[in-house]
Amino acid sequence: MPASTRPHRTLAVLVHCLGLLAALPALSTPDPPRAAATPAVTPASPPARTAHPAPPPTAGAPTPSTRVTPGARRGADRGAPPAVRVSVAPAGTPAPAYRIEVRNDGDAPVDTTVRQELPQGASTARVTAGGRTTRSAGRADSAEVTWRLTLPAHSTTTLNTALTATVDRPLTAPACAFDDTGDRPYDCATATWQQAAASGDGAGATPLWRRSTTALAAGLALLPVLAGTGWWLRRRRRPTEAGAGRSDGAPGDTGHPVDRGTVYPRAAVPSPAYRRRRPPVWLVVGVALTVLVGVVGAAGWTATTRVAAMNSGAQPTSGAWTGQGRAGALGTPLREAAFEFTVYRLACDPAADRRRCQATVGVRNLTSQQQVWHGELQRAYLPDGRWVTADEPATRAANRGRDVFAEPVAADQRMVVPLVFTVGGPEPPRQVELRSGVFSAGVRVDVP
429 inside domain: yes
Domain boundary among 178, 199, 220: 199
What are the tens digits of pLDDT across the range 223-274? 676 777 777 776 666 554 444 444 444 444 554 555 555 555 556 556 655 5
Q: How confident is the model at residue 36 (pLDDT cuts 50, 70, 90)?
A: very low
Burial of residue 118, with CB atoms counted within 10 A of its CB: 0-12 exposed, 13-18 middle, 19 or more buried:
buried
What are the tens digits of pLDDT across the range 76-125? 344 566 789 999 999 888 889 999 999 999 999 999 999 999 988 888 99
Burial of residue 173, with CB atoms counted within 10 A of its CB: 0-12 exposed, 13-18 middle, 19 or more buried:
buried
* pLDDT (0 to 100) of residue 88: 96
What is the end-to-end Cα distance of the chain in Å, rounded? Answer: 129
Q: How confident is the model at residue 430 (pLDDT cuts 50, 70, 90)?
A: very high
Burial of residue 167, with CB atoms counted within 10 A of its CB: 0-12 exposed, 13-18 middle, 19 or more buried:
exposed
> Which CATH number is 379's domain given?
2.60.40.1240
> Which CATH number is 161's domain given?
2.60.40.1510
Count of structural domains within the chain = 2
SS (H, E, C) the chain: CCCCCHHHHHHHHHHHHHHHHHHHHHHHCCCHHHHHHHHHCCCCCHHHHCCCCCCCCCCCCCCHHHHHHHHHHHHHHHHCCCCEEEEEEECCCCCCEEEEEEEECCCCCEEEEEEEECCCCEEEEEECCCCEEEECCCCCCCEEEEEEEEECCCEEEEEEEEEEECCCCCEECCEEEECCCCCCEEEEECCEECHHHHHCCCCCCCCHHHCCHHHHHHHHHHHHHHHHHHHHHHHHCCCECCCCCCCCCCCCCCCCCCCCCCCCCCCCCCCCECCCCCCCHHHHHHHHHHHHHHHHHHHHHHHHHHHHHHHHHCCCCCCCCECCCEEEECCCCEECCCEEEEEEEEEECCCCCEEEEEEEEEEEECCCCCECCCHHHCEEECCCCCEEECCHHHHHHHCCCCCCCCCCECCCCEEEEEEEEEEECCCCCCEEEECCCCCECCEEEECC
417 inside domain: yes
Which domain, by its residues, includes 420? 326-446
Return d(Cα 312, Cα 161) in angstroms, integer: 30
Residues in the chain: 448
279 inside domain: no
Return d(Cα 102, Cα 131) in angstroms, integer: 14
Domain boundary among 155, 178, 199: 199
36 inside domain: no
Pick 164 or 319 by higher pLDDT: 164
Q: How confident is the model at residue 200 (pLDDT cuts 50, 70, 90)?
A: very low
355 close to 349: Cβ distance less than 8 angstroms: yes
The edge-to-edge listing of strands for the beta sheet with 414-424 is 334-335, 339-348, 354-365, 414-424
210 inside domain: no
Domain boundary among 199, 218, 234: 199
* pLDDT (0 to 100) of residue 156: 95
Angle CA 43–48–52, to nearest 5: 135
* pLDDT (0 to 100) of residue 122: 87
Return d(Cα 312, Cα 162) in angstroms, integer: 29
Mean pLDDT of all residues in 380-391: 93
What are the tens digits of pLDDT across the range 172-193? 999 999 998 888 999 999 999 9
359 inside domain: yes
Beta bridge partners of 431: 381, 446
